[in-house]
Amino acid sequence: MTDRGKKRCYDMRLYLVEWVVLNPEAGREMKYIYNMSKSQLIKACLYTEGKLSKQELIDLINYVRNFLKAAKARLKEQKEQDSCGEEPE
């Protein structure tokens, strides 16, 4: 995967999924591939090529996980506010 900047996110995700299947021990840390942005996918691809350390990959995964957790909490809070604000007719 040489020119990642021109690749589509779908192609990078497919590459990462295939890499995880072929390298199950090293790819054990690879999570949230489908929720990553293009720049995050590029960093994950750098890990597969040995240009990114495992700790940097774990930091990236933790960032994505925390972002998703916060988004889920905001959505839940918004739903609760919407349900409390409506009165039945």
Q: What's the mean pLDDT in 19-34?
A: 88
CA gap 3, 12 in Å, rounded: 11
Q: Is the pLDDT of residue 83 over 70?
A: yes
Could you state, in order of their start, the residue ranges of all structural domains in the chain?
A: 4-85
Alpha carbons 20 and 28: distance in angstroms, whole number: 7
What integer is the mean pLDDT of 16-27?
90
Q: State the pTM of this model.
A: 0.74
> What share of the chain in percent tops pLDDT 70?
88
Let me know if 26 is exposed, middle or buried by CB neighbors in 10 A (0-12, 13-18, 19+). Answer: middle
Distances (CA, A) of 37 to 12, 20, 60, 78, 83: 11, 18, 11, 24, 32
The identity of residue 4, as a single letter, is R
